[in-house]
Amino acid sequence: MNCPYCEYRGHRMDLHAHLIKEHAEGIKIYVDEALGKMVFEMSCPVCNESVKQTLKKSAAILAEYEQEIRMVAFDLLLYHLQEKHDDLVQITKHDKS
C-alpha cells in the first residue's frame, strides 16, 4: 500500500506503523466543546472525509492513551483507503519510480 501522505510504501502493517510514527498529526485528539467529550478525528488526506469518535477516557489520562487512540484511528484510515481509494493505495504494476 502507498502512504496517503508521502512516498512511503509497504505492507499494511508496516504502513500502519509508519503512519503512527511519521504522521501522528493526521489524527486529531481534542475536547469537542459541543459534546463536552474527548474525541478523535481521522480525516482522509485523499478525499477529506472524516470520522469522529468520542472517547471515554478523561483528558487527564489522555497522554497515556494517545498512542493507542492513534493505532485505532489509523487502522480506520487504512480500512477507508482500502475501501474507497483502492486504486491509489494498491502497489500497482505502473510504478512511477
Residue type for position 63: A
Report how many residues bind Zn ion under the rule CB under 5 A: 9
> Per-residue string for binding with Zn ion, 71-90, x by CB under 5 A?
-------------x------
The binder of Zn ion chosen from 1, 3, 69, 89 (CB under 5 A):
3
- In the bound state with Zn ion, the residue whose beta carbon lies nearer, of 59 and 88, is 88
Instruction: Check binding of 8 to Zn ion (CB under 5 A).
Output: yes
- To Zn ion, the closest distance from the beta carbon of 56 in angstroms equals 27
- Identify whether the C-beta of residue 18 lies closer than 8 Å to the C-beta of residue 8: yes
Contact partners, residue 81, CB within 8 Å, separation at least 6? 1, 4, 44, 46, 88, 89
Q: Is 5 in the site for Zn ion (CB under 5 A)?
A: yes
DSSP string computed for 26-90: GEEEEEETTTTEEEEEEE-TTT--EEEEE-SS-GGGHHHHHHHHHHHHHHHHHHHHHHH-HHHHS
Q: Which residues within the stretch 42-61 sit at the binding site for Zn ion (CB under 5 A)?
A: 44, 46-47, 49
Site residues (vs Zn ion, CB under 5 A): 3, 5-6, 8, 44, 46-47, 49, 84
